[in-house]
Amino acid sequence: MEQKEDPLQRIEREERERKERGGSLRSTMWALVVVAAVLAAALVYVWYQKSSLVSELEIEKQDLTEQIVSLQGDYAQLSSDYESINAQLDSSREEVAQLVERIKKTQAADRAKMRQYEKELGTLRSIMRSYVVQIDSLNTLNKKLTVEAAEARRQAAEAGKRNAELSEQVSTLSDKVATGSVLKARGIRLTAYNASDKATDRSSRVTRMMVSLTLMENDLAEHGPVRVYVRVKDPEGYLLQDGTNASFTCSGVAMSATASREVDFQGGDVEMSIYINNIPGYVKGIYTAEVYTVQSLLGSAEILLR
C-alpha cells in the first residue's frame, strides 16, 4: 500500500520544483537576451560597414563623375581651324558625353564598371593632350607659313621677273596654311668649298658649293621618298647649271634646278646636304640658293664671294 505524502512535505516539494522551474526559465530568458543582443550588435556592425562602403563608393563615383564632366568642359573649349582635327574632336566629345551618361546610370557598387570608366577617362585625357600638342604645332606652323607668305609677297614686289613664279608660290602657301601638311625646312645654309674641301669665300678658289638644311618634323605630311631641289643663282641672277638638267614642277609651275637629292621622310627631322658640282667658275658677288619641294619653296640662303 502506497504511503501518503505528508501535506507539508508535498507543499515544500511543489514550492521547490516551482522555484527550480522559475530559475531555469530565467536562465533561458537571459541566455536568449544575450544571444539577441549579440545578434543585434552584429547586425549593427554589418549595417555600419555596408553603409560606410556604400558611402565610400558613392564618393568615388561622384569624384569620377566630376572628373569626366570637367574633361567634357575642356573638350568643349578646345577648337582648331583644321577640319580634320575638328572631326576628331567631335568624335571624342561624343565619347565623353556617352561616358557621362553611362556613369550616371551605373550603380556606385559596380566596381568593375567604375574601374573601366577610370581607364576610359585616362584614355580620353591622353587623346586630349595629343590634340593640344597637335593644334599648338599646327598653329606654330601656321604662323611660320604666314610669315613666309608675307616674305614671298615682298620678294615678288622687288623682283619683277620672278613675279609670276613667286605669286604662284604665295598662292600655294596660302592654300597650305590651313592644312599644315606642307614640308618645311630650317637651318638652310649655302657654303662654298675649295679643292681641299675647306670652306672659303674666295671666288677664285671655289670649286663647288653645298646647300645644307633640315627637313622639319611634321606627322601630317605624307611619309616616303621626298626629292629636294636647289636653284642657285649667281650675282647677275642667272641660274647655275651643273649639267644634270634637273627640273621639276612646283604648284603647276615648271622650273629648272641646279641640283637635287631624294631622301626618305618618315615624319621626323631629316638633315641633308646637296652639292653643286661641275660649275665652270665663280665670280665675286652674292650667290642665292633657293630650296624647293614639288609642294612649295622651303626657304633660301645667300653667300658673299670676294
pLDDT in tens, 65-99: 888 788 778 778 777 777 777 788 787 888 888 87
CATH class of 183-305: mainly beta
**What is the Cα–Cα distance from 151 to 30, expressed in whole angstroms?**
101
User: Is the pLDDT score of 173 beyond 60?
Assistant: no
pTM for the model stands at 0.43
Residue the block writes with cell 670676294: 306
Residue the block writes with cell 570637367: 70
**What is the Cα–Cα distance from 32 to 60, expressed in whole angstroms?**
42
Alpha-carbon distance values, 54 to 42, 60, 100 (Å): 18, 10, 21
pLDDT at 214: 95
Which residues sit opposite 233 in a β-bridge?
A: 239, 288
pLDDT in tens, 244-267: 888 999 888 999 999 999 999 999
Question: What mean pLDDT comes out for the span 104-126?
Answer: 78
Alpha-carbon distance values, 226 to 205, 262, 289 (Å): 33, 5, 19
pLDDT in tens, 223-250: 999 999 999 999 999 999 988 888 999 8
Sheet of strand 297-305, all strands in order from the earlier edge strand to the far edge: 259-265, 224-233, 285-292, 297-305
Alpha-carbon distance values, 68 to 97, 123, 124, 245, 290 (Å): 9, 12, 9, 61, 51
Residue type, 96: V
Per-residue pLDDT band for 268 (boundaries 50, 70, 90) equals very high
Nine-digit cell at 135?
Answer: 593644334
DSSP state of 235: T
Q: Are 141 and 99 in contact (CB under 8 A)?
A: no
The ranges assigned to domains in the chain are 7-136, 183-305
